[in-house]
Amino acid sequence: MARSFPIDKVRNIGIIAHIDAGKTTTTERVLFYTGKTHRIGSVDDGTTVTDWMEQERERGITIVSAAVTAEWNGYQINVIDTPGHIDFTAEVQRSLRVLDGGVVVFDAVQGVEPQSETVWRQADRYGVPRICFINKMDRTGADFYRSADMIRTRLGANPVYMQIPMGAESRFEGMIDLLTNEAIYWTDPSGRTFERKPVPDTYKDQVAEYRAKMIEHIVENDDELMGLYLEGKEPSIEQLRAILRQATIAGKVCPVFCGSALKNKGVQPVLDAVIDYLPSPIDIPSVKGLNPETDQEEERKASDDAPVSALVFKIVADPYVGRLAYFRVYSGVLKTGTNLTNSTKDKRERISRVIRMYADRREDVDEVPAGDIAAVLALKNTFTGDTLCDPDKPIALENISFPDPVIHIAIEPKSTADQDKMGEALRRLAEEDPTFKVRSDEQTGQTIIGGMGELHLEVLVDRMLREYKVQANVGRPRVAYRESVTKSVQKVDLKYAKQSGGHGQFAHVVISVEPGDPGSGITFENDIVGGSIPKEYINPVEKGIREAAENGVLAGYPVVDVKVTLFDGSAHDVDSSEMAFKIAGSMAFKDGVMRAGPVLLEPMMRVEVIAPEEYTGDVLGDLSSRRASIESMEPRIGNVQAVKAKVPLAEMFGYATDIRSKTQGRGVYSMEFDHYAQVPTNVAEAVLSGKNKK
């Protein structure tokens, strides 16, 4: 098979950052300089390639991750532009799961922002090597050194300065490449051409200092080079590049670059760095998974000759071609016209049409080799996180986990004609977005939709109207409360016996209920000894407990962070059944929770408010009235204060409007879920009375 590019010349990278750091603007320049576009799109004008949805262009933010393929100096670069808003964090998470490297964009004025930390931790979780691009060097208040230092202090990373800027703000004219010891100037407004010149005399001392630090940082990662350096011999540029590449791929260092994507300065060196320092599919460890037939761990090498294995990381309902499944091929070659197994669901899927995506445009291809990213049409049973593989060599790759929704709203169709259309629209949107949940409220009969924030649900409801032509009324946002317990109950003894002619029903279980670790959900332990309950009835007991936990005892909210231990019980030779033990487990659990001091939990959000210093008092007072716990205040450049706090989500509805009015439109905030905490008694009473009234 003839590949377009050898596998070692393929890069799968994501552009990740806090909202408004310049990810999409940077991606636009990547496409322009690699020849994929012939003009530079603008986020403000709504003309960018990767922000193609109407909602993205209207709001000027990225909502869904978009995949594009470009070529640079003989290399193929698959780029995924990801959202920066916390409400769309699932898009970042599933993209990072299939990427080999990342370019993390930072705002030179703000430095490391809250969502920068979130995406950095997500990249840590998946072991994704990164390079850093400190953007917006032309903005008032830009400070390269402060931003790079925040990467070290806030993120615990090991940044290596590869460049230093020449000037800043309106005087930003280019940067100095510390590796080659050259100044880089951009010579035309489009940024297409640039020149390398000797370092100006005014920067020579500074360059000597930072270049020595850079070399020290790099040679620390190689004993042989370190020895040569200590002897006074400077390593060659090729040696330094090779060691820096190894250290970056190993996650030991993060090369740092600077520029201004909007002013078309600094993007080409970042593209060179993607090739020089980020891994190809063969530079990362072979992917591992479980053989569903033997339950043994296996691995697949990134080779076209290996059995095919691919992970589906995103589903999109395309209005023109139907249901698209984005996938990353980890091994083998995925070809059109072949039959593969969905090992996650144990279903066969026919690969009828494969396309390479270019944001919302597409190009048909016959096959996709190892290490590449593409999309396939018309898969019936395959969803986000599923594995497609060779039927004769099955493997199930690690799935992608997503956070639970923290906010719910009721939604109802405006007319009978919208009723059926709404059900279909919600089903399709839920297929696309794993953090979007739809359920029916048993008490009210309402349809309830859940998501990661107000903006998340607002965008989805807007998409229902525009894409599926469904008119709907939405209720006020409601918090996704949880229930838990505060004390241990060592013995809950429950017998379930029912006689109704013929065989009866009998089950006897004895359990203990106690508080579990935060974030643990429901933990079930089987401590039955001596077979007092036959093995075949243990799973039904657990199933009954888990089903009962979905509706709590206080107000029907899910029960979390509870440890249940089954340690005794009995069975009847004739009357016992799986159903009887499932019912007994459910009843015992509810009884135990009632006796274990049930409490209501609410989602606590990590909030950062950035506002001019003169408004700090108003901001603090407002946060305190919202039951906030103020954690820190720190000054930022230009007489600005950053206030960090933990605030209950229930108190944050409508905060965007309030913060604007309290700071004359000059304050901004970011918010993300942190943890669940016990609701104060007076608030819990109000919540429960409101729930019971409904």
Percent of the chain with pLDDT over 90: 43
- Which of 141-155, 273-287, 320-334 shows the lowest per-residue confidence on average (mean pLDDT)? 320-334
Residues 6 or more apart whose CB falls under 8 angstroms from that of 486 comprise 515, 596, 597, 598, 599, 678
Of residues 313, 244, 286, 281, the one with CA closest to residue 5:
281
Give the Cα separation of 137 and 166 in Å (integer): 10
pLDDT tens, position by position, 134-150: 999 999 889 999 999 99
Q: What is the pLDDT of residue 643?
A: 92
Determine contact, residues 471/412, Cβ cutoff 8 Å: no
Name which of 227-241, 399-413, 565-579 the model is least confident about: 399-413
Identify the pLDDT of residue 1.
43
Residue 431, pLDDT score: 84
**pLDDT tier at 52 (50, 70, 90 boundaries)?**
very low
Three-class DSSP category at 333: coil
pLDDT of residue 216: 93
Res. 319 pLDDT band, cuts 50 70 90: low
3-state secondary structure 19-73: CCCCHHHHHHHHHHHCCCCCCCCCCCCCCCCCCCCHHHHHHCCCCCCEEEEEEEC
> pLDDT class for 56, splitting at 50, 70, 90?
very low
Residue type, 398: E
Mode of pairing for the β-strands spanning 361-365 and 339-342: unpaired
Taking only the tens place, the pLDDT of each residue in 409-456 is 888 888 888 887 888 888 888 888 888 888 887 656 778 888 877 778
Q: What is the pLDDT of residue 601?
A: 92
pLDDT band at 361 (very low <50, low <70, confident <90, very high): low
How far is the CA of 395 from the CAs of 128, 296, 310, 388, in angstroms? 23, 10, 10, 8
Residue range 360-375: average pLDDT?
84
* 428 sits in which H/E element: helix 416-432
Report, as an integer, the average pLDDT of 10-35.
Answer: 85
| DSSP-derived pairing of the beta strands 505-515 and 489-498 | antiparallel
Mean per-residue pLDDT, 235-252: 94
Q: 130-135 and 254-258: which strand pairing?
A: parallel
- 280: pLDDT strictly greater than 50: yes
Pairwise CA distance, residues 536 & 556, whole Å: 30
Rounded Cα gap, residues 640 and 638, in angstroms: 6
Q: For residue 576, is pLDDT > 50?
A: yes
pLDDT for residue 444: 62
pLDDT at 254: 95
What are the tens digits of pLDDT across the range 288-303?
Answer: 999 988 889 999 999 9
φ, ψ of residue 6 to 5 degrees: the values are -55, 150
Region 179-184: what's the mean pLDDT? 95
Answer whether 166's CB lies under 8 Å from 174's CB.
yes
Query: Which residues on neighbouring strands pair with residue 363, listed in sequence order?
Result: 356
Written as six digits, the tokens of 358 are: 């270019």
pTM confidence score: 0.74
Per-residue pLDDT reduced to its tens digit, 481-529: 899 999 999 999 999 888 766 677 889 999 999 999 888 889 999 988 8
pLDDT tens track for 71-127: 999 999 988 877 766 666 677 777 888 889 999 999 999 888 877 887 888 888 888
What is the pLDDT, as a whole number, of residue 51? 43
SS3 269: helix
- Name the band, by pLDDT with cuts 50, 70 and 90, for residue 321: low
Q: Which of the pair, 690 or 21, is modelled with greater confidence?
A: 21
Could you tell me the CA-to-CA distances from 553 to 447, 484, 508, 533, 616 in Å, in that order? Answer: 22, 10, 21, 27, 42
The per-residue pLDDT for 64 is 57
State which H helix or E strand residue 693 sits in: helix 681-693
Q: Mean pLDDT score of the chain, rounded to an integer? A: 86
- For 160-167, what is the mean pLDDT? 94
- H/E segment holding residue 210: helix 204-219
353: nearest Cα among 331, 329, 322, 332: 322
Please state, in angstroms and as integers, the Cα–Cα distance from residue 540 to each residue in 196, 558, 664, following that order.
Answer: 71, 19, 59
The pLDDT score that the predictor gives to residue 61 is 53
Whether the per-residue pLDDT at 691 is higher than 70: the answer is no
